[in-house]
């Protein structure tokens, strides 16, 4: 059964003639009605359809793509194709044979459309020159669509990566402001104090929460966290020289960690955010 998307029409311009393209069963079907404008004289699609070579070509195509094609009816039509009196419309042909290679739609936006394989042969009936230009323009359009598809895919992938990246930062990188009990707690070592300032937890607390992980929290830190940690160690040494107590240094270092990580997040956001 054919399914039509008659609302979406692409246009192919061949030597000044606009030719509509619609989707039928997700395949490109081109307007034979539009293509006829390029043929000199007063001709109709049924003039082409009554030709025996045309019918034989359509029959071969249907054999490859349409298991429901009615071969008995098609044989009767083919036998009549040599007669001058033989004429058949697209609607009658599709009704008799259950063909899917060619379709006719009435009303606004209607006309006769054929699968691209059939449309290429129809282009030859118009002229050999027209067929060459027709195929070239169709291929150019498909290449353009492919590039657009690749660009859209890359854009969507960049968006996904951006959200994954920022979510990971939000959950694993930015340490929250210190709790009151963390500010007043006396840490056994400067290392543990730095851990709390940067990671929001002591080494033992992290180890208790992650018994399945090898090493310590610094082994699992991001490159951003390690960079900030190096800056914090230098700053902590300077604060010790200035005589600040551990609680004051903890607050200053925590603020420093949050500020520097926020800067790194903004830089990464600009790198990951897709261009508009």
Tens of pLDDT along the chain (276 residues)? 555 555 556 788 888 889 988 888 788 999 999 999 888 777 788 889 988 999 999 999 999 999 999 999 999 998 888 777 888 889 999 999 999 999 988 766 678 999 999 999 999 999 999 999 999 998 888 888 777 766 665 555 555 444 444 444 444 445 666 777 777 777 778 888 888 888 888 888 888 999 888 888 888 888 778 888 888 888 888 888 888 888 888 889 888 888 888 877 666 555 444 444
Which is nearest to 232 in space by CA: 249, 203, 253? 253
Q: What does the DSSP 8-state code read for residue 217? A: G
DSSP SS3 for 210: coil
The confidence score (pLDDT) of residue 154 equals: 58
pTM of the shown model: 0.52
H helices within the chain, ranges in order? 32-35, 45-49, 52-65, 71-80, 90-97, 116-126, 128-172, 180-184, 190-199, 203-209, 223-241, 246-272
- Please report, for residues 72, 176, 178, 183, 201, the alpha-carbon distance to residue 193 in angstroms, rounded to integers and kept in the order given: 88, 15, 12, 10, 9
The confidence score (pLDDT) of residue 199 equals: 87
The confidence score (pLDDT) of residue 68 equals: 93
The confidence score (pLDDT) of residue 67 equals: 92
The confidence score (pLDDT) of residue 8 equals: 54
CA distance 57 to 168: 58
CA distance 19 to 23: 14
- Please report, for residues 213, 214, 215, 220, 266, the alpha-carbon distance to residue 210 in angstroms, rounded to integers and kept in the order given: 6, 9, 10, 11, 29
The confidence score (pLDDT) of residue 3 equals: 53
The confidence score (pLDDT) of residue 153 equals: 58
The confidence score (pLDDT) of residue 152 equals: 60
- Please report, for residues 63, 147, 160, 212, 221, the alpha-carbon distance to residue 153 in angstroms, rounded to integers and kept in the order given: 36, 10, 10, 37, 31
Domain boundaries, the chain: 4-151, 173-272
Q: Which residues have a Cβ under 8 Å from the Cβ of 172 and sit 6 or more positions away?
A: 222
């Amino acid at each position: 059964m054919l399914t039509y998307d008659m609302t979406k029409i692409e246009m192919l311009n061949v030597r000044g003639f606009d030719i509509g393209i619609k989707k039928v069963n997700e395949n490109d079907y081109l307007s034979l009605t539009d293509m006829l404008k390029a043929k000199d004289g007063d001709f109709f699609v049924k003039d082409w359809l009554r030709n025996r070579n045309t019918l034989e070509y359509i029959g071969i195509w249907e054999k490859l793509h349409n298991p429901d094609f009615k071969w008995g009816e098609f044989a009767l039509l083919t036998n009549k194709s040599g007669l001058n009196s033989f004429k058949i419309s697209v609607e009658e042909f599709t009704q008799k044979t259950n063909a899917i290679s060619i379709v006719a739609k009435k009303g606004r936006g209607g006309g006769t459309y054929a699968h691209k394989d059939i449309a290429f042969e129809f282009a030859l009936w118009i002229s050999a020159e027209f067929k060459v230009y027709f195929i070239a323009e169709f291929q150019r359009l498909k290449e353009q669509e492919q590039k657009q598809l690749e660009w859209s895919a890359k854009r969507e992938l960049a968006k996904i990566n951006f959200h994954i990246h920022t979510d990971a930062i939000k959950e694993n990188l930015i340490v929250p402001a210190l709790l009151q009990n963390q500010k007043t707690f006396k840490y056994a070592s400067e290392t543990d104090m730095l851990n709390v300032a940067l990671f929001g937890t002591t080494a033992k607390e992290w180890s208790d929460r992650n018994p399945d992980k090898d090493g310590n929290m610094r082994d699992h830190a991001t490159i951003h966290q390690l960079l900030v940690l190096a800056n914090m160690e230098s700053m902590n040494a300077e604060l010790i020289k200035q005589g600040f107590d551990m609680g004051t240094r903890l607050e200053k270092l925590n603020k420093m960690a949050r500020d520097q990580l926020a800067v790194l997040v903004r830089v990464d956001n600009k790198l990951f955010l897709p261009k508009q």
